[in-house]
Protein backbone atom coordinates (compact mmCIF):
# COMPACT_ATOMS: atom_id res chain seq x y z
CA UNK A 1 0.00 0.00 0.00
CA UNK A 2 2.90 2.36 0.67
CA UNK A 3 4.03 1.63 -2.88
CA UNK A 4 0.67 2.73 -4.29
CA UNK A 5 0.60 5.80 -2.05
CA UNK A 6 4.05 6.79 -3.24
CA UNK A 7 3.09 6.18 -6.86
CA UNK A 8 0.17 8.63 -6.61
CA UNK A 9 2.15 11.20 -4.63
CA UNK A 10 5.13 11.12 -6.96
CA UNK A 11 2.88 11.39 -10.00
CA UNK A 12 1.92 14.75 -8.50
CA UNK A 13 5.28 15.90 -7.17
CA UNK A 14 7.33 14.83 -10.19
CA UNK A 15 4.80 16.36 -12.58
CA UNK A 16 5.64 19.63 -10.82
CA UNK A 17 9.34 19.07 -10.07
CA UNK A 18 10.85 19.72 -13.54
CA UNK A 19 8.40 22.59 -14.04
CA UNK A 20 9.16 24.51 -10.82
CA UNK A 21 12.72 25.67 -11.68
CA UNK A 22 11.52 26.74 -15.14
CA UNK A 23 8.47 28.41 -13.58
CA UNK A 24 10.77 30.29 -11.22
CA UNK A 25 13.25 31.46 -13.85
CA UNK A 26 10.94 31.97 -16.84
CA UNK A 27 7.53 32.93 -15.41
CA UNK A 28 8.57 34.63 -12.16
CA UNK A 29 11.95 35.91 -13.37
CA UNK A 30 14.04 34.56 -10.47
CA UNK A 31 17.83 34.20 -11.03
CA UNK A 32 19.44 30.74 -10.89
CA UNK A 33 21.07 31.59 -7.57
CA UNK A 34 17.60 32.05 -6.04
CA UNK A 35 16.63 28.56 -7.26
CA UNK A 36 19.56 27.12 -5.31
CA UNK A 37 18.70 29.16 -2.22
CA UNK A 38 15.04 28.07 -2.33
CA UNK A 39 16.03 24.42 -2.51
CA UNK A 40 18.56 24.85 0.29
CA UNK A 41 16.21 26.75 2.65
CA UNK A 42 13.34 24.36 1.97
CA UNK A 43 15.51 21.41 3.01
CA UNK A 44 17.19 23.11 5.96
CA UNK A 45 13.95 24.38 7.56
CA UNK A 46 12.47 20.90 7.53
CA UNK A 47 15.51 18.83 8.52
CA UNK A 48 14.68 18.69 12.22
CA UNK A 49 11.30 17.09 11.69
CA UNK A 50 12.95 14.17 9.87
CA UNK A 51 14.56 13.13 13.12
CA UNK A 52 11.63 14.07 15.38
CA UNK A 53 9.04 12.06 13.43
CA UNK A 54 11.23 8.97 13.33
CA UNK A 55 12.21 9.20 16.99
CA UNK A 56 8.67 9.77 18.24
CA UNK A 57 7.32 6.95 16.09
CA UNK A 58 9.80 4.65 17.87
CA UNK A 59 8.92 5.87 21.35
CA UNK A 60 5.17 5.61 20.78
CA UNK A 61 5.06 1.90 20.14
CA UNK A 62 6.41 1.96 16.57
CA UNK A 63 3.26 3.75 15.39
CA UNK A 64 4.19 5.12 11.96
CA UNK A 65 0.85 5.78 10.25
CA UNK A 66 -0.06 9.18 11.80
CA UNK A 67 3.24 10.68 10.67
CA UNK A 68 2.86 9.26 7.17
CA UNK A 69 -0.70 10.56 6.72
CA UNK A 70 0.19 14.03 8.03
CA UNK A 71 3.25 14.32 5.81
CA UNK A 72 1.51 13.40 2.57
CA UNK A 73 -1.39 15.76 3.40
CA UNK A 74 1.00 18.68 3.89
CA UNK A 75 2.67 18.09 0.54
CA UNK A 76 -0.68 18.08 -1.23
CA UNK A 77 -1.54 21.50 0.23
CA UNK A 78 1.94 22.82 -0.65
CA UNK A 79 1.45 22.12 -4.35
CA UNK A 80 -1.55 24.42 -4.36
CA UNK A 81 0.52 27.19 -2.76
CA UNK A 82 3.22 26.87 -5.43
CA UNK A 83 0.71 26.85 -8.29
CA UNK A 84 -0.88 30.06 -6.98
CA UNK A 85 2.47 31.82 -6.42
CA UNK A 86 2.61 35.43 -7.75
CA UNK A 87 6.29 35.76 -6.77
CA UNK A 88 9.22 33.50 -5.90
CA UNK A 89 8.69 34.05 -2.15
CA UNK A 90 5.47 32.05 -2.41
CA UNK A 91 7.35 29.23 -4.07
CA UNK A 92 9.80 29.28 -1.17
CA UNK A 93 6.90 29.00 1.29
CA UNK A 94 5.36 26.16 -0.69
CA UNK A 95 8.64 24.30 -0.96
CA UNK A 96 9.26 24.66 2.78
CA UNK A 97 5.80 23.30 3.58
CA UNK A 98 6.27 20.47 1.08
CA UNK A 99 9.68 19.52 2.50
CA UNK A 100 8.27 19.73 6.03
CA UNK A 101 5.65 17.22 4.96
CA UNK A 102 8.27 15.00 3.34
CA UNK A 103 10.35 15.09 6.50
CA UNK A 104 7.31 14.18 8.59
CA UNK A 105 6.47 11.10 6.54
CA UNK A 106 9.75 9.80 5.13
CA UNK A 107 11.45 8.36 8.18
CA UNK A 108 8.24 6.80 9.51
CA UNK A 109 7.55 5.34 6.05
CA UNK A 110 11.01 3.77 5.80
CA UNK A 111 10.69 2.41 9.34
CA UNK A 112 7.30 0.88 8.47
CA UNK A 113 8.82 -0.86 5.45
CA UNK A 114 11.60 -2.26 7.64
CA UNK A 115 9.10 -3.27 10.38
CA UNK A 116 7.02 -5.20 7.82
CA UNK A 117 9.84 -7.02 5.98
CA UNK A 118 12.00 -10.09 6.80
CA UNK A 119 15.71 -9.28 7.02
CA UNK A 120 16.57 -11.37 3.95
CA UNK A 121 14.18 -9.31 1.79
CA UNK A 122 15.05 -5.78 2.97
CA UNK A 123 16.75 -4.80 -0.29
CA UNK A 124 13.93 -6.19 -2.40
CA UNK A 125 11.28 -4.45 -0.27
CA UNK A 126 12.94 -1.06 -0.47
CA UNK A 127 13.65 -1.63 -4.17
CA UNK A 128 9.99 -2.46 -4.82
CA UNK A 129 8.87 0.67 -2.99
CA UNK A 130 11.30 2.83 -4.99
CA UNK A 131 10.10 1.20 -8.22
CA UNK A 132 6.47 2.05 -7.42
CA UNK A 133 7.46 5.54 -6.30
CA UNK A 134 9.37 6.12 -9.52
CA UNK A 135 6.62 4.74 -11.71
CA UNK A 136 4.67 7.72 -10.44
CA UNK A 137 7.71 9.88 -11.12
CA UNK A 138 7.67 8.60 -14.72
CA UNK A 139 3.95 9.18 -15.20
CA UNK A 140 4.02 12.72 -13.77
CA UNK A 141 6.60 14.24 -16.14
CA UNK A 142 5.03 12.27 -19.02
CA UNK A 143 1.79 14.13 -18.36
CA UNK A 144 3.79 17.36 -18.21
CA UNK A 145 5.27 16.62 -21.65
CA UNK A 146 1.80 16.10 -23.14
CA UNK A 147 0.57 19.34 -21.56
CA UNK A 148 3.60 21.32 -22.74
CA UNK A 149 3.20 19.92 -26.26
CA UNK A 150 -0.42 21.07 -26.16
CA UNK A 151 0.70 24.60 -25.29
CA UNK A 152 -0.50 24.54 -21.67
CA UNK A 153 1.20 27.18 -19.51
CA UNK A 154 3.63 26.37 -16.70
CA UNK A 155 1.30 27.65 -13.98
CA UNK A 156 -1.62 25.57 -15.28
CA UNK A 157 0.58 22.46 -15.28
CA UNK A 158 1.36 23.10 -11.61
CA UNK A 159 -2.38 23.17 -10.89
CA UNK A 160 -2.80 19.86 -12.72
CA UNK A 161 -0.14 18.44 -10.39
CA UNK A 162 -2.42 19.19 -7.45
CA UNK A 163 -4.98 16.58 -8.57
CA UNK A 164 -3.04 13.28 -8.05
CA UNK A 165 -2.28 14.46 -4.53
CA UNK A 166 -5.96 14.09 -3.72
CA UNK A 167 -5.75 10.43 -4.83
CA UNK A 168 -2.88 10.00 -2.38
CA UNK A 169 -5.14 11.06 0.47
CA UNK A 170 -7.76 8.48 -0.52
CA UNK A 171 -5.20 5.66 -0.69
CA UNK A 172 -3.85 6.55 2.75
CA UNK A 173 -7.18 5.45 4.25
CA UNK A 174 -6.16 1.83 3.49
CA UNK A 175 -2.72 2.05 5.08
CA UNK A 176 -2.15 -0.05 8.22
CA UNK A 177 0.61 -0.41 10.80
CA UNK A 178 2.91 -3.44 10.79
CA UNK A 179 1.01 -6.34 12.34
CA UNK A 180 1.77 -7.68 15.81
CA UNK A 181 2.65 -11.02 14.17
CA UNK A 182 5.33 -9.33 12.06
CA UNK A 183 6.71 -7.60 15.12
CA UNK A 184 6.71 -10.82 17.15
CA UNK A 185 8.85 -12.52 14.50
CA UNK A 186 11.28 -9.62 14.51
CA UNK A 187 14.09 -8.95 16.93
CA UNK A 188 13.02 -7.25 20.21
CA UNK A 189 11.80 -3.72 19.47
CA UNK A 190 13.46 -1.68 22.21
CA UNK A 191 14.17 1.95 21.24
CA UNK A 192 17.64 3.27 22.01
CA UNK A 193 18.91 6.84 22.29
CA UNK A 194 20.78 8.40 19.37
CA UNK A 195 24.10 8.12 21.19
CA UNK A 196 23.46 4.37 21.61
CA UNK A 197 23.06 3.65 17.91
CA UNK A 198 25.76 1.16 16.89
CA UNK A 199 29.15 2.19 15.53
CA UNK A 200 28.38 0.50 12.21
CA UNK A 201 25.52 2.96 11.68
CA UNK A 202 27.80 5.96 12.19
CA UNK A 203 30.42 4.52 9.82
CA UNK A 204 27.79 3.96 7.13
CA UNK A 205 26.40 7.46 7.69
CA UNK A 206 29.85 9.06 7.40
CA UNK A 207 30.48 7.30 4.10
CA UNK A 208 27.14 8.46 2.72
CA UNK A 209 27.78 12.05 3.82
CA UNK A 210 31.01 12.08 1.80
CA UNK A 211 28.93 11.37 -1.28
CA UNK A 212 26.05 13.67 -0.34
CA UNK A 213 28.22 16.74 0.03
CA UNK A 214 28.55 16.81 -3.77
CA UNK A 215 25.02 15.63 -4.56
CA UNK A 216 23.15 18.91 -5.06
CA UNK A 217 19.49 19.20 -6.02
CA UNK A 218 18.48 17.67 -9.35
CA UNK A 219 17.15 21.08 -10.40
CA UNK A 220 20.71 21.85 -11.49
CA UNK A 221 20.61 18.94 -13.94
CA UNK A 222 17.38 20.36 -15.35
CA UNK A 223 18.86 23.85 -15.61
CA UNK A 224 22.04 22.48 -17.18
CA UNK A 225 19.97 20.66 -19.80
CA UNK A 226 18.19 23.91 -20.59
CA UNK A 227 21.53 25.73 -20.63
CA UNK A 228 22.84 23.25 -23.24
CA UNK A 229 20.00 24.16 -25.57
CA UNK A 230 17.05 21.88 -24.86
CA UNK A 231 13.61 23.45 -24.98
CA UNK A 232 11.36 23.30 -21.94
CA UNK A 233 9.43 20.41 -23.49
CA UNK A 234 12.59 18.41 -24.24
CA UNK A 235 14.05 19.07 -20.79
CA UNK A 236 10.99 17.51 -19.18
CA UNK A 237 11.05 14.63 -21.69
CA UNK A 238 14.69 13.92 -20.78
CA UNK A 239 13.60 13.85 -17.14
CA UNK A 240 10.93 11.31 -18.11
CA UNK A 241 13.62 9.08 -19.64
CA UNK A 242 15.60 9.25 -16.40
CA UNK A 243 12.59 8.20 -14.33
CA UNK A 244 11.72 5.37 -16.73
CA UNK A 245 15.19 3.85 -16.29
CA UNK A 246 14.98 4.33 -12.53
CA UNK A 247 11.55 2.69 -12.29
CA UNK A 248 12.63 -0.37 -14.29
CA UNK A 249 15.89 -1.00 -12.40
CA UNK A 250 15.10 -0.05 -8.77
CA UNK A 251 13.55 -3.38 -7.79
CA UNK A 252 16.20 -5.58 -9.52
CA UNK A 253 19.04 -3.61 -7.92
CA UNK A 254 17.33 -3.86 -4.53
CA UNK A 255 16.95 -7.62 -4.93
CA UNK A 256 20.58 -7.89 -6.06
CA UNK A 257 21.70 -6.19 -2.86
CA UNK A 258 20.04 -9.03 -0.89
CA UNK A 259 22.41 -11.47 -2.63
CA UNK A 260 25.73 -9.62 -2.68
CA UNK A 261 27.16 -7.04 -0.24
CA UNK A 262 25.13 -3.86 -0.55
CA UNK A 263 28.31 -1.76 -0.59
CA UNK A 264 29.18 -3.25 -4.01
CA UNK A 265 25.85 -2.14 -5.45
CA UNK A 266 26.23 1.28 -3.84
CA UNK A 267 29.80 1.65 -5.09
CA UNK A 268 28.65 0.87 -8.61
CA UNK A 269 25.85 3.41 -8.30
CA UNK A 270 28.01 6.30 -7.09
CA UNK A 271 30.60 5.49 -9.79
CA UNK A 272 27.86 5.91 -12.39
CA UNK A 273 26.94 9.21 -10.69
CA UNK A 274 30.53 10.43 -10.99
CA UNK A 275 30.62 9.60 -14.70
CA UNK A 276 27.26 11.30 -15.35
CA UNK A 277 28.24 14.47 -13.49
CA UNK A 278 31.55 14.55 -15.35
CA UNK A 279 29.56 14.19 -18.56
CA UNK A 280 27.32 17.15 -17.64
CA UNK A 281 30.43 19.20 -16.88
CA UNK A 282 32.09 18.40 -20.22
CA UNK A 283 29.01 18.38 -22.46
CA UNK A 284 28.83 21.15 -25.06
CA UNK A 285 25.85 20.00 -27.14
CA UNK A 286 22.21 19.32 -26.34
CA UNK A 287 22.26 15.74 -27.68
CA UNK A 288 24.49 14.68 -24.76
CA UNK A 289 21.68 15.35 -22.28
CA UNK A 290 19.70 12.29 -23.43
CA UNK A 291 22.22 9.52 -22.66
CA UNK A 292 23.35 11.35 -19.52
CA UNK A 293 19.84 11.52 -18.07
CA UNK A 294 19.21 7.87 -19.00
CA UNK A 295 22.40 6.68 -17.27
CA UNK A 296 21.60 8.91 -14.30
CA UNK A 297 18.56 6.67 -13.79
CA UNK A 298 20.95 3.73 -13.30
CA UNK A 299 22.73 5.58 -10.50
CA UNK A 300 19.59 6.39 -8.53
CA UNK A 301 18.14 2.89 -9.01
CA UNK A 302 21.33 1.38 -7.56
CA UNK A 303 21.49 3.68 -4.53
CA UNK A 304 18.16 5.11 -3.37
CA UNK A 305 16.45 2.03 -1.97
CA UNK A 306 19.71 0.13 -1.43
CA UNK A 307 21.07 2.88 0.85
CA UNK A 308 17.95 2.62 3.02
CA UNK A 309 18.33 -1.16 3.26
CA UNK A 310 22.06 -0.70 4.03
CA UNK A 311 21.21 1.56 6.97
CA UNK A 312 18.49 -0.86 8.09
CA UNK A 313 21.05 -3.68 8.21
CA UNK A 314 23.03 -2.03 11.00
CA UNK A 315 20.37 -0.74 13.41
CA UNK A 316 18.10 -2.48 15.94
CA UNK A 317 14.58 -2.85 14.58
CA UNK A 318 13.00 -1.03 17.53
CA UNK A 319 15.13 2.02 16.74
CA UNK A 320 14.72 2.09 12.97
CA UNK A 321 12.68 5.32 13.11
CA UNK A 322 15.42 7.04 15.10
CA UNK A 323 18.15 5.75 12.78
CA UNK A 324 16.30 6.76 9.61
CA UNK A 325 15.59 10.13 11.21
CA UNK A 326 19.29 10.74 11.84
CA UNK A 327 20.11 9.48 8.34
CA UNK A 328 17.54 11.81 6.73
CA UNK A 329 18.62 14.71 8.92
CA UNK A 330 22.25 14.32 7.90
CA UNK A 331 21.39 13.81 4.24
CA UNK A 332 19.22 16.93 4.20
CA UNK A 333 21.98 18.94 5.85
CA UNK A 334 24.41 17.78 3.18
CA UNK A 335 21.88 18.68 0.47
CA UNK A 336 21.61 22.18 1.94
CA UNK A 337 25.37 22.68 1.72
CA UNK A 338 25.58 21.04 -1.72
CA UNK A 339 22.70 23.11 -3.17
CA UNK A 340 24.01 26.44 -1.87
CA UNK A 341 27.49 25.57 -3.13
CA UNK A 342 26.11 24.49 -6.51
CA UNK A 343 24.11 27.71 -6.90
CA UNK A 344 27.14 29.82 -6.01
CA UNK A 345 29.51 27.85 -8.25
CA UNK A 346 27.06 28.05 -11.16
CA UNK A 347 26.48 31.80 -10.77
CA UNK A 348 29.96 33.00 -9.83
CA UNK A 349 32.42 30.42 -11.19
CA UNK A 350 31.08 28.35 -14.08
CA UNK A 351 27.92 26.27 -14.79
CA UNK A 352 30.19 23.23 -15.06
CA UNK A 353 31.71 23.64 -11.60
CA UNK A 354 28.91 22.03 -9.51
CA UNK A 355 29.16 18.88 -11.60
CA UNK A 356 32.92 18.62 -11.20
CA UNK A 357 32.51 18.87 -7.42
CA UNK A 358 29.85 16.14 -7.45
CA UNK A 359 31.97 13.84 -9.61
CA UNK A 360 34.98 14.14 -7.28
CA UNK A 361 32.91 13.46 -4.13
CA UNK A 362 31.25 10.42 -5.74
CA UNK A 363 34.55 8.96 -6.94
CA UNK A 364 36.03 9.22 -3.44
CA UNK A 365 32.93 7.58 -1.96
CA UNK A 366 33.16 4.64 -4.37
CA UNK A 367 36.74 3.99 -3.24
CA UNK A 368 35.76 4.12 0.44
CA UNK A 369 32.79 1.77 -0.12
CA UNK A 370 34.96 -0.83 -1.82
CA UNK A 371 37.38 -0.77 1.11
CA UNK A 372 34.66 -0.86 3.81
CA UNK A 373 33.82 -4.12 5.65
CA UNK A 374 31.34 -6.26 3.72
CA UNK A 375 29.08 -6.92 6.71
CA UNK A 376 29.88 -4.46 9.54
CA UNK A 377 28.85 -5.66 12.96
CA UNK A 378 25.92 -3.91 14.61
- DSSP-assigned states of every residue in 279-309: HHHH--SGGGHHHHHHHHHHHHHHHHHHHHH
Is residue 377 assigned to a domain?
no
- The span from the CA of 98 to the CA of 249, in Å, is 27
Is residue 182 assigned to a domain?
no
- The DSSP secondary-structure symbol of 27 reads I
| pLDDT category of residue 273 using cuts at 50, 70 and 90 | very high
Is residue 43 assigned to a domain?
yes
| pLDDT category of residue 377 using cuts at 50, 70 and 90 | very low
Is residue 376 assigned to a domain?
no
The confidence score (pLDDT) of residue 186 equals 46
Q: Strand ranges (DSSP E) for the chain?
A: none
The confidence score (pLDDT) of residue 166 equals 86
Using alpha carbons, select from 192, 212, 193, 214 the residue that is nearest to residue 204.
Answer: 212
Using alpha carbons, select from 176, 49, 173 the residue that is nearest to residue 106.
Answer: 49
The confidence score (pLDDT) of residue 61 equals 65
The confidence score (pLDDT) of residue 230 equals 84
Using alpha carbons, select from 19, 274, 32 the residue that is nearest to residue 147.
Answer: 19
Is residue 302 assigned to a domain?
yes
- The span from the CA of 21 to the CA of 39, in Å, is 10
Is residue 99 assigned to a domain?
yes
pLDDT tens, position by position, 175-230: 888 765 455 444 455 667 777 788 888 988 999 999 988 888 787 888 888 888 88
| pLDDT category of residue 374 using cuts at 50, 70 and 90 | low
Lowest mean pLDDT among 88-102, 169-183, 347-361: 169-183
The confidence score (pLDDT) of residue 24 equals 80
Domain count along the chain: 1
- The span from the CA of 355 to the CA of 305, in Å, is 23
Enclosing H/E stretch for 246:
helix 232-256
Cβ atoms of 227 and 338 closer than 8 Å: no
Specify the pTM.
Answer: 0.75
Which one has a higher pLDDT value, 46 or 216? 216
- The span from the CA of 218 to the CA of 215, in Å, is 8
The neighbour count for residue 159, using CB atoms within 10 Å, is 16
| pLDDT category of residue 270 using cuts at 50, 70 and 90 | very high
Q: What percent of the chain has pLDDT over 70?
A: 92
Average pLDDT over residues 292-297: 92
- The span from the CA of 92 to the CA of 228, in Å, is 26
| pLDDT category of residue 29 using cuts at 50, 70 and 90 | confident
The neighbour count for residue 374, using CB atoms within 10 Å, is 9
CA torsion sign for 56, 37, 168, 252 is negative
Is residue 378 assigned to a domain?
no
Domain with residue 121: its CATH number is 1.20.1250.20
Lowest mean pLDDT among 177-186, 202-211, 240-249, 252-261: 177-186
Q: Quick check: helix, strand or coil at residue 377? A: coil
Average pLDDT over residues 245-249: 90
The confidence score (pLDDT) of residue 276 equals 93
Is residue 317 assigned to a domain?
yes
Lowest mean pLDDT among 208-222, 326-340, 363-377: 363-377
Residue 366 above 80 pLDDT?
yes
Domain that holds residue 267: 2-174+187-371
Lowest mean pLDDT among 33-42, 188-197, 209-218, 323-332: 188-197
Residue 375 above 60 pLDDT?
no
Amino acid sequence: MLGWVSLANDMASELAYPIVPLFLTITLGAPVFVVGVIEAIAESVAVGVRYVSGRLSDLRGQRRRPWIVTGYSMSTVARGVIAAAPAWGWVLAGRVFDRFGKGTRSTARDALIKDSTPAELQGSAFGYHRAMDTTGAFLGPSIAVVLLAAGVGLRTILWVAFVPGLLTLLLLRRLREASHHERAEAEPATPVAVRELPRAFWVALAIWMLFSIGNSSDVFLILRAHDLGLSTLLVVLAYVVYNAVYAVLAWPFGALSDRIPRRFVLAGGVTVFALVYLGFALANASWAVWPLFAVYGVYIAATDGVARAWIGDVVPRGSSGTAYGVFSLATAGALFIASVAAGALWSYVDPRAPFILGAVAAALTAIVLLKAPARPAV
